[in-house]
Structure 1
């Protein structure tokens, strides 16, 4: 049963990767039709790079469970570290499992902050469009995107420095991964510094991203039926914050399974971030595809009905008389024994 569960979880990661690449490809298709490849913006290229990094993150998550059995230098006492043979298979798995965890954290942080940078770039273009409708509001918020671009870049750099400050020297010495004292900072899986720095910056930046378009959309003179879906569309960062919070909770409370569970939730959160980032671009195309599918389904249904034909119509007129009104069957028929004859009209 455990092997089946592990296989299902591995399949989930590859399915999420496939869907994420499909979403990015659909976004590129939409942008190609809108502006052409020569007019692609910075975020159009950056989102493609994020898709490639997402593939690397998925491979890292797969290696954590498939090759290294979720083993890292975490969840070990000093006695267990001292007794562990450096030539054993467990030592090898724990060392490389820890390295994969550091790599996974780095790829995870890169994708999240790159996607936030993409959102900031798209908001900058959105504000330029809304400038035509709300010049005063644009004047008040025109610095928001530039400030957010700088904030995203600095926060991403800070996250990377935090990730590598403790583990950079340990890449050159495998033994130091295991034989170091039991310090939480040096345990890549459950380091509270890693978890808290990433999740706090993630939630705060998502809240700031949501706060940019919502006030402007509320002031635009459109109907409520159009305004609410747009506000929901640009509030997708809330789902990223929720997924990131769940991931942090899982890592800190899953015990020895924290490495594998954290890697799975990293893939899930990354997938949600990719969908949220690209949804404003692909939403019209998805709606058009669904409408075309609905029209095709209705056409097939109507075609099947027309081939079958009405069962009770023997005249081929569909029950419609020459005068254009529907004839009532078996009513006022002189040859029917149970029917009433029509009364003669006065002349």
Structure 2
């Protein structure tokens, strides 16, 4: 291949990389905007939670990572201190353009790994905060599982950061060209970094998936509903696939694998942002698709008002059922629950509930519902049934509105 042909091929490859990089970035930001819109629509601007803000911190980190990838390819020409023989290192002049490009690219690799670890850690923290919202009112044992998740994410984050900044000593060897600094100090293909970040991803991704899925499959939802909710909550498996492919390329081909690993690292970051937002935008997309698919895929029954403690995959407390509103109501306040109303006193008792008692709730009930029960309607909305305790009668009545 002649030099003009080689230059044209390189230019085409760079153009393809830029197109993919910024297309994925734009789509990820759009999905995050939709997530924020869905949350504001569901709970109001004043009731946004920590995960709604963490996701935008993650977008800033994703912006940093995408920008670094752009400069590494477009200004650093994809070069670093790896993929060179000893003779090539010795022959490379410190005054040459290639030498400076390799130093520049090597420094970007270190910063890129740092932004990647911070991005993934922030996204997983946002997922855990979302889980905290999802299980509010449930038994404390579910909260313990989530706090263990926080500890796991924090420990793997620290392990990755320590590996990045402690494995190569002195630190300046990360951009040393000659003599060969060794694999540990070649940021693009450093095996300690690759393995620690990969193991961290495997441990945390699997654990995060295993928090909601077993509880979901212990419910009375129909099989199709369980599968759909499992796909939404278990989408993190796609992040694992990207991380696995990235690791394989680096380990199998340390010379040319760094380029492919970089591409899959970009895709991994993109998929991580999408899967973190997916549970929150699911109700919004569901409502958009309902007029098209009708009741064949979605329930045609929608409660006019959600009860206190209403939970959705991505929803939260309904804006009309806030604490301030409840205090101003009389003792005979009625809450609509998919065609039912629950008479409440001003003093409400929030009981622990068992995930085994989750059931589908789409039609008015003709008999008393058991206390301590979560109701899940056919739109995957999780509702905690509140019931009153009368000091004299110590009973609960459920009647049609």
TM-score, normalising length: structure 2 = 0.67
**Pairwise CA distance, 1:192:** 0.7
Structure 2 counterpart of 1:208: 207
Deviation per residue, 1:207-227 (Å, 9 max, x gap): 111111111111222222212
Distance in 2, matches of 1:272 and 1:170, equals: 31
- Aligned partners of 2:143, 2:105: CA distance in 1, in Å? 46
After superposition, the C-alpha distances for 1:146-188 in whole angstroms (9 at most, x for unaligned) are 11112212211221121122458545x89x6213444110110
Equivalent residues of 2:245, 2:261 under 8 A apart = no
Look up the match of 2:82: 74
Partner residue of 2:110? Answer: 102
1:70 touches 1:259 (CA, 8 Å); kept in 2?
no
CA distance in 1, matches of 2:154, 2:181: 33
Q: Are positions 1:37 and 2:30 aligned together? A: no
Any idea what SS the aligned residue of 2:110 has? Answer: helix
Which residue of structure 1 lines up, in the alignment, with residue 131 of structure 2?
123
Distance 1:85 1:166, change over 3 A: farther
What's the counterpart of residue 191 of structure 2? 192
Is 1:153 the counterpart of 2:154 in the alignment? yes
Tell me which stretches of 4 or more aligned residues in structure 1 moved more than 6 Å: none
- Higher-Rg structure is 1
**C-alpha contact (below 8 Å) 2:109/2:188 kept by paired residues:** yes
Whole-Å Cα distance in 1 between the matches of residues 147 and 179 of structure 2?
A: 43
Q: Is 2:82–2:186's contact at 8 Å kept on the other side of the alignment?
A: yes
2:22 pairs, out of 14, 30, 34, with 14
User: Are 1:238 and 2:237 matched, yes or no?
Assistant: yes
Query: Which deviates more from structure 2 when the two are superposed, residues 3-12 or residues 49-58?
Result: 3-12
Aligned residue number for residue 248 of structure 2: 249
C-alpha contact 1:110 1:156 (8 A) present in aligned 2: yes
**Normalized per residue, which structure has more helix?**
1
Unaligned runs of 5+ in 2: 1-8, 295-401
- Choose between structure 1 and 2: higher strand proportion: 2
Q: 1:59 to 1:168 in 2, by over 3 A?
A: farther
CA–CA distance in 1 between the matches of 2:267 and 2:161? 21
Q: Compare relative contact order (CA 8 Å, sep 6+) and give the higher one, 1 or 2.
A: 1
Specify whether residues 294 and 160 from structure 1 end up closer, same or farther in structure 2 by C-alpha distance, changes over 3 A only.
same
Q: 1:345 — aligned with what? A: none
Gaps of at least 5 residues in structure 1 are: 132-137, 296-347
2:322 is aligned to none
Would you say the 8 A contact 1:243–1:268 is kept in 2? yes
Shift of residue 76, structure 1, vs aligned partner: 2.0
1:42 Cα offset (Å): 1.6
TM-score between the two structures when normalised by the length of structure 1: 0.77
Corresponding residue for residue 163 of structure 1: 164
Contact 2:184/2:191 (8 A) holds in 1: yes
The CA distance in 2 between the partners of 1:22 and 1:251, in whole Å, is 31
Provide the rounded CA distance (Å) in 1 between the counterparts of 2:179 and 2:145.
45
Q: For 1:10 and 1:216, how far apart are their aligned partners in 2?
A: 42
CA contact (8 A) 2:159 2:196 kept: no
Shift of 1:113: 1.4
